[in-house]
Amino acid sequence: MNKPSAVRHGRYLAAGLCLLILGACGALRPEAAPPHPAYYALDIPQRPAPATATATATAPTLTVNPPHAAAGFDSARLIYVRETHKPEYFAHSAWIDPPARMLAPLLVAAVENTGAFRAVVQKPGTATGDFRLDTEIIRLQQDFRTAPSRAHFTLRAYLVEEKTRRVIAWQEFDAAVPVTSEDPYGGVVAANQAVGIVLERLATFCADAAGSVWMKK
């Protein structure tokens, strides 16, 4: 072997050894840690009750059952859709609790603010009321099928007269709010706004439906 060939051979050997060493180091190096998960809450601002919204001593009482959620919406996972009938989930973002559980106190506060009921009591508990409110989350998701995407919230509600066990009214409420940033946080902010819109409509629905029955007694 002449000298130039020997030099080239030595260089190739050195390069090969370097690649082997780098590969071994890469195998020993821990993988990059995934992003820290982000957790979000349903936390709509509560409006103060109007000065005239004061329940009288003869006003009815309302008990509120824990909200239910349709299949797929009964966990803490943040849902989004890009195709119809195909829900997907954000990998590193979630609610701090299933939305149905977070919704209950917000719902009670919204109905209390109408001043239409002498008391609004959240179940479970031993208290009974003149009326009962049953609710179910039908949809709570970020919809990327539009631009900008939208937070979409749908809630079904039933108002029941406890004495007769009769459903005196029911309604499905729906709100879709455009996001300001195309990410989970933007979706959560818009979702809270959509929930606030729905709860305001729901509170009016409860006050009107119960009031119309109560006035006839």
Query: Is residue 132 within 8 Å of residue 65, measured between CB atoms?
Result: yes
Each residue's pLDDT, cut to its tens digit, for the chain (217 residues) gives 554 554 445 554 444 444 444 444 444 444 445 578 899 999 886 655 554 456 677 899 999 999 999 999 999 999 999 999 999 999 999 999 999 999 999 999 999 999 999 999 998 877 788 999 999 999 999 999 999 999 999 999 999 999 999 999 999 999 999 999 999 999 999 999 999 999 999 999 999 999 998 887 7
Give the pLDDT of residue 52. 47
**pLDDT at 44 (0 to 100):** 80
Q: Side-chain half-sphere of 119: how many Cα atoms within 13 Å? A: 10
pLDDT at 112: 94
* pLDDT at position 180: 95
Helix, strand or coil, per DSSP, at residue 53: coil
Cβ-Cβ contacts under 8 Å for 138 (sequence gap 6 or more): 70, 73, 154, 155, 156, 172
Full-model pTM = 0.80
Q: What is the pLDDT of residue 53?
A: 56
Runs of H (alpha helix) within 49-162? 99-112
Question: What pLDDT sits at residue 96?
Answer: 97
Q: What is the CATH number of domain 38-214?
A: 3.40.50.10610
Specify the pLDDT at position 50.
54
User: Does residue 148 have a cis peptide bond before it, meaning omega lies within 30 degrees of 0?
Assistant: yes
Residue pair 115/50 in contact (Cβ under 8 Å)? The answer is yes
Q: Centre a 10 Å sphere on the Cβ of residue 9 and count the other Cβ atoms it contains.
A: 11
- Domain positions in the chain: 38-214
